[in-house]
Amino acid sequence: MAEISATSFPSSSSSALLFRSSHNGSSKCQNVACPRTTSQFQELSVRRSQIVGNAVFTGHASASRSCKNQAIRAVLSSDGTALANDSKEAGLRGKLKKVVLAYSGGLDTSVIVPWLKENYGCEVVCFTADVGQGIKELDGLEQKAKASGASQLVVKDLTEEFVKDYIFPCLRAGAIYERKYLLGTSMARPVIAKAMVDVAAEVGADAVAHGCTGKGNDQVRFELTFFSLNPELKVVAPWREWEIQGREDAIEYAKKHNVPVPVTKKSIYSRDRNLWHLSHEGDLLEDPANEPKKDMYMLSVDPEDAPDQPEYIEIGIESGLPVALNGKALSPATLLTELNTIGGKHGIGRIDMVENRLVGMKSRGVYETPGGTILFAAVQELESLTLDRESIQVKDSLALKYAEMVYAGRWFDPLRESMDAFMEKITETTTGSVTLKLYKGSVSVTARKSPNSLYRQDISSFEGSEIYNQADAAGFIRLYGLPMRVRAMLEKGI
């Protein structure tokens, strides 16, 4: 149960709104909104009910919360009202009622807020997803959203859902794009976009917006998810509409609309981080001939500087999905978090590649995926015990298409869902454990075992076996090689 209460301060006549969440009789303060005058608070009490994330705020200061593991914050708008009044006037480009914006707090999304209000005459609800990008990227978002003119900020913790429902299915499928890319950004976009569709329904929005450029893959990934889950939502992509051409234009627009410009030093790289990976693009990386600088990496040490002693770890797997580390059962997100730390310490998971973007151009990116690299090695190795030759070949062939669909943003496509059902079925016996040796950037398999292993030592041994008669091989070879023999006979006129 959640509640809003007004607290008076002795030193002034103002009040503050406190969002408190209670469960099983306990109360825990989640957030403190900005101070308001008594008259403003009285005005708020007669406003209509508003839904924020999964909590419903009403004038009687009561609310309910339906989903666990979701952090939700409500932010007041910059003019002191709890929610912006619906404007009856259209903007420069048309009229929308309310837009849910994928919001990071950076320069681009900060200027998108006033741009949406100016061009579409709408209320803007900012949405931020926590997919494990780090607490620093979430600091101060309430203040930034308020200063930009947003009426609300909704923050949801999606880390467990991200790992369990998006990362692990790709891991089970063996999905790798163009031989190297472990799909870190590709998997994160549909879970974020799905949450945006949910928030749009909760707050009564008629449109969603994102800050993706018109040159990248992410615009496709976001919008295909929107189309799949709610085709009635309008989609606004400012980078495909506005006149802003770069950072300096954005700063000028921000100043004109009194939006505080972020004072943090601008990275020379374009980065995307989540619990699975960290990507680096831009600047000197745009020339494939340039070696990445040593100080660019953030999740992993240089393999040359990694410990001189190897570390052995054991990954427990059930039906193709990791469940334990060194004998300890862990949740999906916790398991991945610990492996990121261990792998990063040993310089595991650095990938430098030139990839083919969906929109047609090539791009060069450097990826750090320490925990993911370890998990891929473990799962694939266990499959060598539990899957037969034909199953592995079919699974690997489908994995290529699976990865292509995820990369292209077709997560909710029935074809991917059907392939996922196959992957779940084919790996239901892939249970066991794999021991790995981590040393200076490398992952080596040292042991693997499974109660469902198809490996039989009594058959594979060079010693005699009652099951396998070596003399049977002669007839097999003659039949197996018959097509080749017939072709050779034709060529030689026999």
Cβ-based burial of 445 (10 A; exposed 0-12, middle 13-18, buried ≥19): middle
pLDDT recorded at residue 264: 56
Distance (Å, whole) CA 350 – CA 441: 8
pLDDT above 90 covers what percent of the chain? Answer: 71
Please indicate whether residue 189 is annotated as part of the active site: yes
Cα–chain-centroid distance for residue 258? 32
Bridge pairing between strands 98-102 and 14-23: unpaired
Please indicate whether residue 352 is annotated as part of the active site: no
Which residues does residue 205 pair with via DSSP β-bridges, in sequence order?
none
CA atoms within 13 A on the CB side of 320: 23
Which residues does residue 6 pair with via DSSP β-bridges, in sequence order?
17
pLDDT recorded at residue 263: 55
- Which of 3.90.1260.10, 3.20.20.70, 3.40.50.10490, 3.40.50.880 is the CATH number of 271-386+429-455? 3.90.1260.10
User: 362-387: per-residue pLDDT in tens?
Assistant: 999 999 999 999 999 999 999 999 99
- Catalytic position from the list 36, 73, 172, 189: 189
* Domain ranges across the chain: 98-158+187-266, 271-386+429-455, 460-492
Q: Please, what is the end-to-end C-alpha distance for the chain in angstroms?
A: 87
pLDDT recorded at residue 262: 65
- Catalytic position from the list 270, 384, 442, 465: 270
pTM greater than the 0.85 cutoff = no
Q: Are residues 462 and 453 in contact, defined by beta-carbon separation less than 8 angstroms? A: no
User: 271-322: per-residue pLDDT in tens?
Assistant: 999 999 999 999 999 999 999 999 999 999 999 999 999 999 999 999 999 9
Instruction: Kindly give the parts of the chain with pLDDT less than 50.
Output: 1-87
Cα–chain-centroid distance for residue 350? 18
- Catalytic position from the list 45, 47, 108, 319: 108
- Catalytic position from the list 130, 157, 218, 420: 218
- Which of 3.40.190.10, 3.90.1150.10, 3.40.50.620, 2.60.40.2550 is the CATH number of 98-158+187-266? 3.40.50.620
pLDDT recorded at residue 41: 31
pLDDT recorded at residue 439: 98
